Every structure is written in structure tokens, then in C-alpha cells.
Amino acid sequence: MHDDQTNNTALHRLRRTALGALTAVTTALLCISAQAQNAPVTGSQRATAQQVAQQGVPLAELAPNAPDTYVVKRGDTLWGISGIYLLRPWRWPELWGMNLQDIANPHLIFPGQTLYLDKQGGYARLRTRPNDNSEPATVRVSPRTRSDSLANSALPTLKPHLIEPFLVEPMVVDEQTLLRAPRIVATTEDRVLMSAGDRAYARSDVSNPLRAEPGEPRQYRVFRDAVPLKDPGTGEILGYEAQYLGKAELVHGESVAVTPDGKGGSTADHVPATVDITATREEIRAGDRLLPAPERTFISYTPHAPEGDVEARVVSIYGSAFANAAQNQVIAINMGEDDGIQSGHVLNLMTQGDRIKDTTADARDMIKLPSESNGMAMVFRTFDRISYALILDVRTTVRVGDRLITPR
């Protein structure tokens, strides 16, 4: 009888412990959802992360040379570390879902942390401590200014120098936004071309004049020659890609000057806004357009495959006069936020499948080769109907019209 009571008590405690553990996992997931505001996690990722937190991933999912320990170094990227441990690096939740007990925000991994690969019962987990009973390792962070957040010292998802220029440079707008954008109308000393340090004058649409008032934009990007981005399949214009020229700061807003005409009356003249050119990639001239500078984009986000089936196509190769793109180049694709595309989405590049003449047949008729996997690309910036992606790896050159699909 005493043994039965003891067993019942133990069983009751075990159930309470299991319930407490499940509650802790759920709470951790909810906290991560609230804290990871700069790196959104999808519902499927949360579900996968919860499953992985309980059992890890099958050993067959690990890369052949996945190390038992790895010290995070400056210059590492989240995508690179994911590739060290996983055969399919885009399966991010399987990697960082293992760290729910160790890392408050699974997207923030810092140089100096040690990652431990724990293999048990045919499954593997990645931790920041060697076992469940030890304390998390202390990560030393260099002194930082008050305005420099800790998140900025975390590893980026991709190599910053490859994508940072594109976080501000390509600006995709619709036709009406482009037509209403303020334009540079004159310069000081009648200069034809302007560079950093020069002053210019800009005029906007009468319904939306440039104002140097609190709450109004003061920092602008200068653009020229907006190119229509057309869907390769339908020919529909998805947006206009403006060519980045430089930066400008609004000094004085537009106004009206009233001048006596000497006859008892007066003349009202429009006074354009004053802007200072603060940086240039190319020389700026009258007629170039101004668009408000975009907000700074956090460059650490979750690499993951789209939840559903994606069938996108390459619209253009950014900043290239050539028809082909290679590794580390940026491409525009014909799907955007309206289609559910997110920063961090990893897509499989596919060849078009060339049409060739069958020289082995008597008729020598044309045949079309099947489409083949050609590499991977990751989306890092999205607009309504257009997104930009970095080519991570590629076997042959990427061409306009090539397909991008959900990786398997």
C-alpha cells in the first residue's frame, strides 16, 4: 500500500514537471514572438521550433562534418553557420529551435559564443552550453555607445557588404509616386552637374510641397531614370526601379515670395525648397527626383523556406548591363509583399531549359530540355510586387526569366 502511494505521488510529480516544462516552452515561444520584432517568425516556424525543442533533428539532417563545438567568430553569418550544421541551411527552425532554453532571441547570435552539438537517441540539438545543468557561457561584448544597440553587434544573416548598399539604393515605386516626386530645378551658380557639398533647389507637386517642419522628412535619396520592371510572363509593369544617385538634406521648405510691382500691386512667385547634396554615387543634375530616405533596415532575419509553393521569375539583374548574373549578384523577382514574400525567404533557382535541335533525329526537330536546379537565392528586401534577392550559390549563370521555387 505504501509503495502504491509512493508511486502515485511520483507519477503526480512527473505529470506536474511535464506540464511545467510544456508551459515553459510555450512561454518562451510567446516571448520570442514579442521580442523578435526585427526578425519575424512564422507560425510554422514556431510549431517546428517547439517540436525541435523537444526532440532535436534526426542525425541524417546534419551536414557530414558538423562540428561538436563551434566558437562564433566575427565575420560569421547566420546563413554560414546554418550551413555548417545542416544539409539544407534554409531549415532554420531546426537549427535555432534547439536553443529555446538558451537564447532569449534565437536570431541574435554573438561573436564569442560557443555552440555545442548534443547527439542523443538518433537526434541532435544545438546548444550554447554543454549540458542542461551547466550555466550559459558569458559572452563579452565590447563597450558600446548609448545609441548603439546590442542587436547591432549580433551576427548578420548575410555578408553586410553584399546587401547593405541595396537596402537603400533600389527604390521601387508606382507610376503616380514617381510623377509626384519632387524634382531638382536649379543649382547655385548655374552649375550643370552637382556633387557632395553643393546646394540645389527642388520643387514638388503643388498638392504635396516640401516642408521643413517637425514630423516631415528631412533626408532624401536622389534618383533618375526610373526603369519599368515588367513581369517576364505577362509583360505587366510591376513597378518602377529608380536609379540611385546620392543623398540630399532638406534645408528650407517651399514657400511663396510676394514682391511689390511698383504699381500698387504685387507679384507672387513660387520659391523652391533648398536642399544640400550630402553624398553622391554619380553626378546629379536638374530634373533628378527626390524620394524620402527609407528607414534603416535590420539585417539579421530568419533564413527559411516559404510556407507555401512559390513560383517566381527573375525580372532584372540589378546594376548590370549584362543579361546574366553570377554568385553574389542581386536580382529582382516578380513577387513581393502582396504575394507573401518575406525577407529571409530562401528560394531555389531553376534553369529555363534551353530549346535545342535534336541532331540525332531524322527530322532534326526542336526539343526543350527540362528545367534543372541551378542554385539558391535569399530575399533581403521586399516591396509590394517586387523583391530583391542575393544569389547565394549558382552552377550556371542566372538569366532574366529564370524561375525561383520553394526549396525541398
Task: Give the number of domains in the chain.
Answer: 3
Is 33 inside a domain boundary?
yes
Integer Cα distance of 391 and 376 in angstroms: 6
Check which CATH number belongs to the domain holding 390 and give it. Answer: 2.40.10
Residue range 99-120, pLDDT digits in tens: 433 333 445 678 898 988 888 8
Binned at pLDDT 50, 70 and 90, residue 96 comes out as low
Is 143 inside a domain boundary?
no
Closest by Cα among 335, 307, 299, 326 to 407: 307
Domain identity same for 324 and 390 = yes
DSSP run (H or E) holding 340: none
Integer Cα distance of 111 and 125 in angstroms: 20
Domain identity same for 125 and 179 = no
Helix (H, G, I), strand (E, B) or coil at 84: helix
Q: Are 50 and 93 in contact (CB under 8 A)?
A: no
Dihedral, CA atoms, 103, 106, 108, 113, nearest 10 degrees?
Answer: 50
pLDDT at site 45: 60
Contacts of 6 (CB under 8 A, 6+ apart): none
Cβ atoms within 10 Å, residue 75: 10
Q: Are 307 and 90 in contact (CB under 8 A)?
A: no
Integer Cα distance of 94 and 229 in angstroms: 36
Q: What angle do CA 378, 382, 388 make, to 5 degrees?
A: 45
**In whole angstroms, how far apart are CA 34 and each of 39, 132, 341, 342?**
10, 25, 21, 18
Are β-strands 69-71 and 57-58 bridged in parallel, bridged antiparallel, or unpaired? Answer: unpaired
Q: Residue 59: what residue type? A: L
pLDDT at site 191: 84
Residue 396 pLDDT more than 80?
A: yes
Between 105 and 122, the higher pLDDT residue = 122
Range of the domain at 352: 311-405
Domain identity same for 342 and 372 = yes
Domain boundary among 245, 262, 292: 292
Domain identity same for 128 and 188 = no
**pTM, rounded to two decimals:** 0.70
Domain identity same for 254 and 176 = yes
Is 142 inside a domain boundary?
no
Sign of the four-CA dihedral 273, 276, 280, 282? positive
Integer Cα distance of 407 and 304 in angstroms: 10
Contacts of 197 (CB under 8 A, 6+ apart): 276, 277
Closest by Cα among 133, 47, 40 to 97: 47
pLDDT at site 398: 95
Cell of 288: 533628378
Is 144 inside a domain boundary?
no
% pLDDT > 90, the chain: 38
Cβ atoms within 10 Å, residue 85: 22
pLDDT at site 69: 93
Closest by Cα among 332, 309, 298, 252 to 40: 298
Domain identity same for 180 and 120 = no
Domain identity same for 9 and 43 = yes
Is 161 inside a domain boundary?
no
Domain identity same for 281 and 366 = no
Residue range 377-386, pLDDT digits in tens: 999 999 999 9
Is 128 inside a domain boundary?
yes
Residue range 242-267, pLDDT digits in tens: 888 999 999 999 999 998 888 888 88
Residue range 21-62, pLDDT digits in tens: 333 333 333 333 333 333 455 666 655 555 554 567 788 989
Is 301 inside a domain boundary?
no
Is 56 inside a domain boundary?
yes
Domain boundary among 292, 325, 358: 292
Domain identity same for 127 and 228 = no
Q: What angle do CA 266, 268, 271 make, to 5 degrees?
A: 145
Q: Are 326 and 397 in contact (CB under 8 A)?
A: yes
Residue 289 pLDDT more than 80?
A: yes
Binned at pLDDT 50, 70 and 90, residue 338 comes out as very high
Quote the DSSP letter at residue 165.
G
Rounded CA Rg of the chain: 28
Residue 304 pLDDT more than 60?
A: yes
Average pLDDT of the chain is 78
Binned at pLDDT 50, 70 and 90, residue 123 comes out as confident
Domain identity same for 15 and 118 = yes
Domain identity same for 350 and 384 = yes
Can you tell me the mean pLDDT for 139-163?
Answer: 56
pLDDT at site 353: 82
Domain identity same for 57 and 97 = yes
Worst-scoring range by mean pLDDT, 27-41, 101-115, 276-290, 326-340? 27-41
Integer Cα distance of 335 and 231 in angstroms: 9
Domain boundary among 156, 190, 225: 156
